[in-house]
Chain A
Amino acid sequence: MRRPTDDSLFTRGLLIAITVGYIGLFLFLPLLTVFSSALAKGLQVALDALRDPDALSAVRLTLIVAAIAVPFNLAFGICAAWVVSKYDFRGKSLLISLIDLPFSVSPVVSGLIYVLMFGLQGWIGPWLRDHDIRIIFALPGIVLATIFVTFPFVARELIPLMTDQGRDEEEAAVSLGASGFQTFLRVTLPNIKWALLYGVLLCNARAMGEFGAVSVVSGHIRGLTNTMPLHVEVLYNDYQYVGAFAVASLLALLAIVTLVLKSLLEWRFADEIAATHRH
């Protein structure tokens, strides 16, 4: 006889079949398609596509953007989490809502707001043109848009964790004579290091893969302002499918590595990353 809280064999079988089918159909197949389409004409053709100068500069641009955006957002995330978890002040929940903002905004709108500020018809567009500073259609604009869409990641990982951890240890450190910075470095940082890593991982994955926002601000100038995702679009629209999927495969590999590392961190350090994600 089965336990009263077990579903019948039929139910279990059916639900598992649906689960496997749904995930297989909607998640696994698309992933598989990326790699198989890249290799459709053989490994050599795919590698040649990756060695193309435009592809290489797209890779370079992606790496540069991530290398700038992630550390900035790391600094912000730590500051914001520190402020929110170690102090009480009015307007805290407004602050937290603001931090969550980019998650609810369309990526295209995220890019739009920078065009409206810095674009030719934007608020300070004319001033920028007069001073020959290019933000939109250049690296700074891409970096800004990327920062916008990825800055919540680190903060959102740290805030619940640091709030849970409380202030006791830091207060003890201060009472023993440590400065604020020392307290952070010696007491807080070790307690949050895995959550920090987790947040940086997600932040980086999104920074490298962001498409919509960057698409709006970049101008799609081949070899200059195309990140990898944009280059994929350019190739695909040019009917260069193997090339597009080859670059896409690199991004898919990044996604897989991210997922593996993410799972590893969740598995080993579940408590320390407050893995019950609150959206």
Chain B
Amino acid sequence: MSLIAESLAKQFGNFPALKGVSFAAPTGAFVALLGPSGSGKTTLLRILGGLEFADTGRVSFENEDWLAKPARERRAGFVFQQYALFRHMTVEKNIAFGLNVRPRKQRPPRAEIARRVRDLLALVQLDDLGQRYPSQLSGGQRQRVALARALAIEPRMLLLDEPFGALDAKVRKDLRVWLKGLHEKLGLTTIFVTHDQDEALEMADTVAVLNEGRIEQIGAPKDLRSHPATPFVADFLGGTPATASVIALKPRTLG
């Protein structure tokens, strides 16, 4: 298990966003943090990304004290819900940003950066749009630029905050398939936040269901479906006929 989080807790003023969250995931896992709004899933993601600080708890990633590093040094590629692209930079400059700000010694030569940008544009299938500005792109295209930008720094983990939330249904479906394919290709530890249980159950190999700052259950999608550990989980995942019949069957099968 390369990513281990122990007893993470965070309060915003009087509001407890996380009340002691622990979980573990192996390298290369595709983890979904699933739950309703206010469940703490985004807070958890931001803590992993270094954008918030936990009040208590620890995180270790590949045997490093993850929380001791500032966001800059973690190389955790973060993809924001509203993309957060740099409006005044072209797509190419956006993607190259993480490489351009590296200290001189670690910065690749310009030709190398250009090559990497081209490769990433090809990877996200936006080959000819390098010179465009974010305002000239569609939502789905912006999302892919945000992803390419995060991938440019060769991140150790990928963190996505409701990546498809702002897109329409068709684009969402296409991007889901595409992201899943990308994960299989790159093998990066990926953690993404969503409130859509179909999305979580379809894409991830590990799903953590959060509610009011706690993890109610964590496991493989089919396990969550067939054996919901708490009424909340059963209810939350209860949208599909399969789970409904499971609930109906439950008393007998577990009897």
Contact = CB atoms under 8 A, between A and B. Distances in A.
| Chains A and B touch (C-beta atoms under 8 A apart) | yes
Interface of A: 1, 3-4
A1 B70 CA distance: 7
A118 B180 CA distance: 79
Interface of B: 50-53, 70-72
A5 to B, nearest CB: 8
A2 to B, nearest CB: 8
B53 A3 contact: yes
B72 A4 contact: yes
A4 B72 CA distance: 8
B81 to A, nearest CB: 16
Looking at chain A's contact residues, the main secondary structure is loop
Given A1-B70, A4-B70, 7 more contacts: A3-B51, A3-B52, A3-B53, A4-B50, A4-B51, A4-B71, A4-B72
A224 to B, nearest CB: 58
Contacts of B72: 4
A146 to B, nearest CB: 43
10 contacts: A1-B53, A1-B70, A3-B51, A3-B52, A3-B53, A4-B50, A4-B51, A4-B70, A4-B71, A4-B72
Nearest to B71: A4
A4 B53 CA distance: 11
Contacts of B52: 3
Listed from nearest, the 10 A-B pairs whose CB atoms lie closest are: A4-B71, A1-B70, A4-B51, A1-B53, A4-B50, A3-B51, A4-B70, A4-B72, A3-B53, A3-B52
Contacts of B50: 4
A4 B52 CA distance: 9
Contacts of A1: 53, 70
Contacts of A4: 50-51, 70-72
A1 B68 CA distance: 9
A47 to B, nearest CB: 52
A3 B70 CA distance: 8
B106 to A, nearest CB: 19
A1 B50 CA distance: 10
A89 B15 CA distance: 53
